[in-house]
Amino acid sequence: MIRAVFFDMGGTIETFGFTPELRIRATAGIQKILQSVGIELNLSDVALYTVVTQGLKQYHDSCIDSLVELSPVQVWSDYVLRDFNVDRTRLESVAEQLATYVELSYYERKMRPEIPAVLEELRRMGLKIGLISNVNSRGQVPANLKQYRIDEYFDPIIMSSEYGRRKPDPAIFHYAARLMNVPASQCAYIGDRINRDIVGARKAGFRLAIQIIHDYEHGELECGATPDAVVNSMTEILAPLQEEMSRSFPRANQPVQALIFDAGDILYHRPQKGSRFDEFVHSHGIESPDGLQEKQDELVQMCYRGQISQEVFRESILELYGITDEALRENGRKMLEEDDNGVVFFEGVRETLEILKQQGFLLGIITDTANSISTKLSWFEKAGIGHVWDSIISSQEVGVRKPDPNIYRAALQQLGVAPERAVFIGHKKTELDGAHAVGMKTIALNFEAGAAADVFINHFHDLLSVPLLVMHPKLTRETEAS
């Protein structure tokens, strides 16, 4: 039941700490980097140390709520040096260098001595090894892994600086599991922070979440989840991992092992879709432009394929309507966002998914969407189903939409199941046909006219009585005997 282990970096792979004296000495390097592009602040090292420390603290405090990892130039321009008249273009040219330098030089870092032996043992056990780290630079983690001579063990290496979201957002955990092609429920996570590492792994449905003690006062409240184990040395993680590896997959010999759902109009719907923005447009006497539907459909396709962000999509919609007044644009953005978030889950979704999960099914989602996985997971968490998903495949992340066979194959590959042992639950004819074309069985719910499927159901909870999904007792006994 465990196929992969992900590690945190700071406080986990390595211990770290600092003193004011260390940072003041290192501040001379910040001065040199700024001066190299003609930025002269005319501050002493002590004064600049204070500016940098306070600015970074304000940024990290803001991240606790937003979980957004800004680019280094945004951090240094909007937080660290916001009180200085600094040329942003010049700052941008050295922002990554500044971020990496601070993370390498403002701390004293040291690899835990047992790490190489533990990583080698995990490799011997046949486990995949990855890393998920909250970090503003793109350079510190690779530099330290290479310095410790352990970089070869980690694939993938997921950094918030590249993904754009920070732990404990479960989206970054799901992203890591997808890149590793392992179901979330077959992953373990090792980290030192309850509020970032353990909470995030729990929300993402990871099988194990283990805390390793790190003596560092970070000033944040540690709460929100209970780790499966608390260890002082990395060698202590081996026993619980070995125990989990000895467990068998409960549906190993069953005809159906995985259920993969469309999201919209299967799990939830939007009963007032688009109504807020329509009301906004009409209340301000804004007329619909010629060719609106065609242009809007083109933008939707681009957004669904990840060619433009949702923010760009919304701005483009406002431009189509010719809305230039900033106050109106802000109100329009708000209405578009409220329309997107106006989801209502169908009756029985949470209870049914929980039962299916208990029955041992791997559960996945394939969604054509303009919304980020982070946004969708926030909806799911509120509905009580955030933790159940083994795979979430988004058109925005993989760049193709249903019924392209590659989007179905991405889910099957991560779940590790053959097409004939997976069932797709959808409502559109094209999407059901696409799943059938790659060899999956299909169940139609809330289906449109002309839809073809192996099974048709009228309510979500009807999944529990579909003969195709009932566990075969003979095969169950064979699995238990083996």
Q: Which fold has domain 258-269+344-481?
A: Rossmann fold (3.40.50)
Question: Where exactly are the structural domains of the chain?
Answer: 4-14+109-245, 19-106, 258-269+344-481, 275-341
The reported pLDDT for the residue numbered 481 is 42
Burial zone of 326 (CB within 10 Å; 0-12 exposed, 13-18 middle, 19+ buried): exposed
- Helix, strand and coil in the chain, % to nearest 5: 50, 15, 35
Burial zone of 424 (CB within 10 Å; 0-12 exposed, 13-18 middle, 19+ buried): buried
The reported pLDDT for the residue numbered 189 is 98
Q: Are domains 4-14+109-245 and 258-269+344-481 of this chain identical in fold? A: yes
Q: Which residues contact 187 (CB under 8 A, 6 or more apart)?
A: 2, 3, 4, 5, 6, 173, 176, 177, 180, 201, 206, 207, 208
Would you mind telling me the total number of residues written for the chain in this entry? 482
The reported pLDDT for the residue numbered 474 is 57
Give the CA radius of gyration of the chain: 25
The reported pLDDT for the residue numbered 249 is 79
CA-wise closest residue to 239 among 213, 208, 203: 208
CA-wise closest residue to 428 among 449, 408, 457: 449
Q: Enumerate the β-bridge partners of residue 187.
A: 4
Distance CA 344, CA 264 (A): 10
Distance CA 93, CA 77 (A): 12
The reported pLDDT for the residue numbered 176 is 98
Q: Is the dihedral of CA 217, 218, 223, 228 positive or negative?
A: negative
pLDDT string in tens for the chain (482-residue length): 899 999 999 999 999 999 999 999 999 999 999 999 999 999 999 999 999 999 999 999 999 999 999 999 999 999 999 999 999 999 999 999 999 999 999 999 999 999 999 999 999 999 999 999 999 999 999 999 999 999 999 999 999 999 999 999 999 999 999 999 999 999 999 999 999 999 999 999 999 999 999 988 877 778 899 999 999 999 999 999 999 999 887 888 899 999 999 999 999 999 988 899 999 999 999 988 889 899 999 999 999 999 998 999 999 999 999 999 999 999 999 999 999 999 999 999 999 999 999 999 999 999 999 899 999 999 999 999 999 999 999 999 999 999 999 999 999 999 999 999 999 999 999 999 999 999 999 999 999 999 999 999 999 999 999 999 987 765 544 444 44
Residue 372: strand, helix, or coil? coil
Burial zone of 383 (CB within 10 Å; 0-12 exposed, 13-18 middle, 19+ buried): middle
Q: Which fold has domain 4-14+109-245?
A: Rossmann fold (3.40.50)
